């Protein structure tokens, strides 16, 4: 995990972001013993580079870290990077969106297509709505315009 921390520090230093706290937690308690979960929390003083424009910078950083982990850590690794608690807040917003969308689909009996979103957000919506036996979700389109369709189970 020190390798990942050094990489994050190097990336941030090259961006002239020096006042930062990095916390890395690994968890291999998953049902799949081959899977290692790596949770990276980054707390820079100034996060605007990462969180503007729908967190494109954060998503890019996470993608780089996933590639690095894939090449340098044995086994299957799932990396989640978060900056200043952005993802936790975003998950609350996505949960609200999922619940309200499911309610509207039930009420109107019509499919709803959500706005394009990154893969991890689509996955979050799919998992949230999978808890509802009367609701079905599917992703449509090509990146970066990939969207979720929410509809009633036939």
Give the Å distances, CA to CA, from 60 to 85, 105, 118, 137, 149: 17, 33, 11, 26, 25
Please report which residue ranges of 2-85 form alpha helices under DSSP H. Answer: 2-14, 48-72
Residues 14 and 43 in one domain: yes
Residues 75 and 119 in one domain: no
- Domain of residue 79, CATH code: 3.30.300.20
Mean pLDDT of the chain: 88
The structural domain count of the chain equals 2
Enter the DSSP assignment of 40: E
- Whether 29 has a pLDDT exceeding 70, the answer reads no
Torsion of CA 56, 51, 69, 80, to 10 degrees: -110
Residues 38 and 94 in one domain: no
Residues 24 and 76 in one domain: yes
d(CA 83, CA 44): 7
How high is the pLDDT of residue 130?
A: 96
- Sheet containing 20-27: which strands, arranged edge to edge? 20-27, 35-44, 76-83
φ, ψ of residue 152 to 5 degrees: the values are -75, 150
Kind plus residue range of the DSSP H or E element containing 121: helix 119-129
How high is the pLDDT of residue 35?
A: 72
- Whether 32 has a pLDDT exceeding 60, the answer reads no
pLDDT digits (tens, 9 = 90+) for 82-105: 999 998 899 999 999 999 999 999
Residues 63 and 98 in one domain: no
φ, ψ of residue 69 to 5 degrees: the values are -65, -40
* Residue that wins the pLDDT comparison between 14 and 126: 126
| Residue 32 structural domain | 2-84
Residues 96 and 46 in one domain: no
């Amino acid at each position: 995990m020190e390798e990942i921390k050094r990489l994050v520090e190097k990336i941030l230093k090259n961006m002239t972001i020096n006042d930062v706290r990095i916390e890395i937690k690994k968890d291999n308690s998953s049902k799949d013993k081959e899977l290692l979960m790596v949770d990276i929390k980054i707390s820079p003083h100034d996060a605007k580079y990462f969180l503007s424009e729908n967190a494109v910078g954060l998503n890019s950083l996470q993608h780089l870290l996933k590639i690095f982990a894939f090449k340098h850590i044995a086994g299957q690794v799932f990396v989640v990077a978060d900056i200043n608690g952005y993802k936790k807040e975003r998950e609350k917003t996505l949960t609200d969106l999922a619940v309200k969308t499911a309610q509207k689909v039930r009420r109107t009996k019509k499919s709803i297509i959500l706005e394009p979103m990154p893969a991890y957000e689509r996955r979050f919506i799919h998992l949230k709505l999978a808890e509802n036996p009367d609701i079905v979700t599917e992703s449509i389109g090509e990146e970066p315009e990939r969207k979720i369709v929410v509809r009633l189970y036939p």
